[in-house]
Chains A and B, each alone.
Chain A
Amino acid sequence: KQEVTQIPAALSVPEGENLVLNCSFTDSAIYNLQWFRQDPGKGLTSLLLIQSSQREQTSGRLNASLDKSSGRSTLYIAASQPGDSATYLCAALSTSGSRLTFGEGTQLTVNP
């Protein structure tokens, strides 16, 4: 059974800082690894999707990497802004089924 863990559970940084969010998964048989953003009371917004054959994906100030063999992914946020404050979730899509398995999220606060 796939298990996904995110570290840290919460993070508070000053505006402008670069930061890294970590995600680990136990079963390397995945189709892809996806990072989502969730604002309070809202649904999930997909940020980046890394296919199993890829090593990283970039979108603006966001860069996500994937090391399938070690079961790890990182989300790098450059020059953080207060508007980046949200909960960030990673999720793995296993090849054994269709379900996404989510971590518990990292709650990020960027202070002005």
Chain B
Amino acid sequence: GAGVSQSPRYKVAKRGQDVALRCDPISGHVSLFWYQQALGQGPEFLTYFQNEAQLDKSGLPSDRFFAERPEGSVSTLKIQRTQQEDSAVYLCASSPRGQGSKNIQYFGAGTRLSVL
């Protein structure tokens, strides 16, 4: 497909479980972003990749959150020992160029994580 693809669309986890969320950006896009959107809130930045380099991870809420993009295309957001406050929609976005440019970010449909 031509857009940003995220999987799974929905994930239910028991508290304490580890989860992995996948993002397939638009082919050839240099930049990839992860955002967290709590219910009724706007998305909040988690982390940013330019190709395979993670240039900004200042938005990750704790060391239980880890993201990678080893080959500069697909990215995985991993959450260890999930807690109820991790319940949110996790959005991935990609853009054609690198940091500091005036690009539109194209968003995927998100993964809705529910931690019970």
A residues neighboring B (CB under 8 Å): 4, 6, 31-32, 34, 36, 41-46, 49, 51, 89, 91, 93, 95, 97-105
Contact = CB atoms under 8 A, between A and B. Distances in A.
B42 A43 contact: no
26 contacts: A6-B42, A32-B102, A34-B105, A42-B109, A43-B110, A44-B43, A44-B93, A44-B107, A46-B105, A46-B106, A46-B107, A51-B102, A89-B43, A91-B42, A93-B102, A95-B100, A98-B33, A98-B55, A98-B56, A98-B100, A100-B35, A100-B43, A100-B93, A102-B43, A102-B44, A104-B42
Nearest to A45: B107
Chain A interface main SS type: strand
Interface string B8-30: 00000000000000000000000
Contacts of B102: 31-32, 51, 93
Contact of A46 (B100, B104, B110): B104
* Interface range on chain B (Cβ under 8 Å from partner): 20 to 34
Contacts, number: 67
Interface in B90-107: 91, 93, 99-102, 104-107
Interface of B: 4, 31, 33, 35, 40-45, 48, 55-56, 59, 91, 93, 99-102, 104-110, 112
Contacts of B109: 42-43
Nearest to B106: A46
A34 B104 contact: yes
A50 to B, nearest CB: 11
B55 A4 contact: no
Contact of B48 (A44, A91, A99, A101): A99
